[in-house]
Amino acid sequence: MGLWDYCKAMEDTELIKEKINIVDLISEYLTLKKTGINFKARCPFHDEKTPSFIVSPERQIFKCFGCGKSGDVFTFLIEKEGLDFKEALEMLAKRAGVTLKKSPAKSDFKDRLFAVNLKAQEFFHYILINHESGKRALEYLKDRGVSAGTIEQFGIGYAPHSWESLTRFLLKRGFTAAEITMSGLGVVARSGCYDRFRGRIIFPLIDGKERLRGFSGRVLYRAEPKYINTPQTPIFDKGQFLFGLHLAKGEIRAKREAVLVEGEMDMILSFQAGFKNVIASKGTALTEGQIDLLKKYTENISLAFDMDLAGDFALRRGIEMSDKIGLNIKVIQLEGGKDAAEAIKEDPAIWSKAVSAAVPIYDYYLTYIAKKYDINSPSDLKRIQEELIPVWAKITDNLVREHYIQRLAAYLKTDEGILRALVEKIRKSGYKSYPTIKTLSSASDRDNILSSRSRRELLEEYLIALLLRPPKNYNFVPGFPETLFLKESWRQLYVALVLYLDSISFKSTAFNINEFVSNLPKELLVEVDRLYLMELDARFVDERVWQKELDGVVSELKKTLIKASLEKLSLEIRNAQEFGNMGIVESLNKRFRDLSVKLKNL
């Protein structure tokens, strides 16, 4: 920071300190108790039983007599949020309504990306609230139970079903085509760029420091994918982001718990209904970046995902990382396959009860296994071992691990020593509990011992490989949903492929693998390179043969998903019959019949 910048920052600092009361600021993080002319609380910077953290409204400072930390509003925010001085200055200036004095130096290009996002949000919000083309989107939100106040609070908008409305709006306001595409709002075209978000309800993606980093768009008209997000940009990384954190972080601290849901609507309707410690992961995988974010605010996380915990390897890795750094994970279970938004719309008490009844993650694993497998079947016993023993081996706390070895032994009616020996064998060998599957080219057609999940993964990889190698000059945009893929990385890659194929269809250009991979994250690039180099049948240069093969793989994947659901339902029906829950049996039987018909028609 130069001398001019320093002087101006000091002027801004004093003005901000005049406008912000330190008691009000710290009260958002701690429960302060008045003691004489000061306020007292337990220190947020170290563990203590007797409060020794004092806040003086008169001096506008704080001091902890336990650990010695002290300072003003800036010091508190820097320590609590992990900010640098510039970030704390900007955050408090926004809160105080102070316009910072700018350096005469040229603004950073990232500032331009934040600026173009803010202007785009104004556009989207105006279209939703005031324009004819936003009426259907506004009606949809109201039908979902989103109030006018919530729409304003979250800055929700609508992207018109047009190729260039936003682009023209931003160009007229001094932004360049390069800035529009760099921010992820536009897609490169011959004439400059066109709008990425079209015919979609728009959710601004605001980080914990209240910076608008990108957008998520939910389809309103019939189209796939259902959701698209701002791609990775210099200011947005999906793996480092949690939706709604800027609004929920105070309550997360107060309740010492974060409730993690999957989608934006789940978080928004939860928050609107008074559940203020809810955030959304925007996908079931828990990344290292998201875990690091959560750790700043709480050690307790309750997951509310519609998922297959045993089969979702990305999520299991996230849970393993959370356990390793000492986070406590619970699982929220909603009956009937509902998500948080559906439960709240029906009755907020349903959601409240489910959150209160969340079970520890390893208890959930046991419940899941009990529903999925029959312990009297030798083959099912083998699958239980394959799924749970590696998970138990990854539990870091010795007492917790021993407790669940005993629980599993009691459930299986087997000797604890046998299970303990299996767990220790894995721990000593350094065995990875989430093995990767062989490439398609090395899988034998005669290999009949592949599990159904392995076959499904092979099909998913093969489908991506086909999409990466379309026949020359064949104009094709797939229309099946990304939910056909269970692996999170394939979902991300498929969405990127659909957006790219859509763009080249618009430009009438051919598929170019180098152009496609140019903006992919490194972890996806590795997978693309592997699958792109796979040897495919030479006949697939013919578009009819290629399309027939693609349709066949999609059909097989749909069948595999339905068969897995039928298998799970069969076990649930058997369990319900054994416990005499005939009302549940009837409901499950109806779902079984409906799925059977669907399978037959594929």
Of 181-195, 248-262, 519-533, 575-589, give the lowest mean pLDDT range. Answer: 575-589
Q: What is the pLDDT of residues 139-170, one digit of tens each?
A: 999 999 999 999 999 999 999 999 999 999 99
What is the mean predicted confidence (pLDDT) over 281-294? 80
Least confident of 7-11, 93-97, 339-343, 363-367: 7-11
Residue with the bigger pLDDT between 446 and 154: it is: 154
Cα 60 from chain centroid? 39
- pLDDT surpasses 70 at 5: no
Same fold, 3-96 and 109-236: no
Percent of the chain whose pLDDT exceeds 70: 89
Direct distance between the N- and C-terminal alpha carbons of the chain, in angstroms, rounded to an integer: 65
Mean pLDDT of all residues belonging to the chain: 84
- The pLDDT confidence band at residue 1, using thresholds 50, 70 and 90, is very low
Most confident of 339-343, 432-436, 503-507: 339-343
Q: Which fold has domain 3-96?
A: DNA Primase; Chain A (3.90.580)
Q: Hey, where are the domains in the chain?
A: 3-96, 109-236, 240-359, 373-429, 442-558
The token pair at 379 is: 């083959």
Contact 514, 528 (CB under 8 A): no
Given a contact cutoff of 8 angstroms between Cβ atoms, the answer to whether 184 and 231 are in contact is yes
Token representation of residue 368 = 């899941």
Whether the per-residue pLDDT at 58 is higher than 90: the answer is: no
Helices (H), 42-108: 73-81, 85-96
- Check pLDDT > 90 for residue 35: no
The vertex-544 CA angle with 538 and 549, nearest 5°, equals 65
Q: At which residue do the structure tokens 């793996």 appear? A: 239
Q: For 354-373, what is each residue's pLDDT tens digit?
A: 999 999 999 988 988 888 88
The dihedral region occupied by 174, where left means phi > 0, alpha psi between -120 and 50, and beta the remainder, is left
Q: Per residue in 467-505, pLDDT tens?
A: 998 998 888 889 888 888 888 888 889 988 988 888 888
Per-position DSSP letters for 296-319, written without gaps between them: TT-SEEEEE--S-TTT-HHHHHHH
- Matching CATH number, 240-359, of 3.30.10.20, 3.40.1360.10, 3.30.390.30, 3.30.465.10: 3.40.1360.10
Dist. CA 288–CA 432, nearest whole Å: 17
Two structure tokens written together for 571? 């076990």
Mean pLDDT along residues 325-330: 86
Is 109-236 a CATH 3.10.20.30 domain?
no
Pairing of strands 258-261, 278-280: parallel
> Cα–chain-centroid distance for residue 279?
9
Distance CA 187, CA 357 (A): 45
pLDDT digits (tens, 9 = 90+) for 557-581: 888 888 877 877 787 777 777 666 7
* pLDDT reported for residue 403: 94
Bond preceding residue 225 cis, omega within 30 of 0: yes
Segment 433-460 shows an average pLDDT of 46
How many Cα atoms occupy the beta-carbon half-sphere of 228 within 13 Å? 26
* CA atoms lying within 13 Å on the CB side of residue 60: 11
pLDDT in tens, 113-148: 999 999 999 999 999 999 999 999 999 999 999 999
How far apart CA 598 and CA 584 sit, in angstroms, is: 21
What's the pLDDT score for residue 120? 97
Task: Considering only residues 393 and 532, tell me which one the structure prediction assigns the higher pLDDT.
Answer: 393
For residue 143, the tally of other CB atoms under 10 A from its CB is: 9
**Whether residue 47 has pLDDT greater than 80:** no
pLDDT bucket at 448, cuts 50 / 70 / 90: very low
Cα separation, 583 vs 586, in Å, equals 5
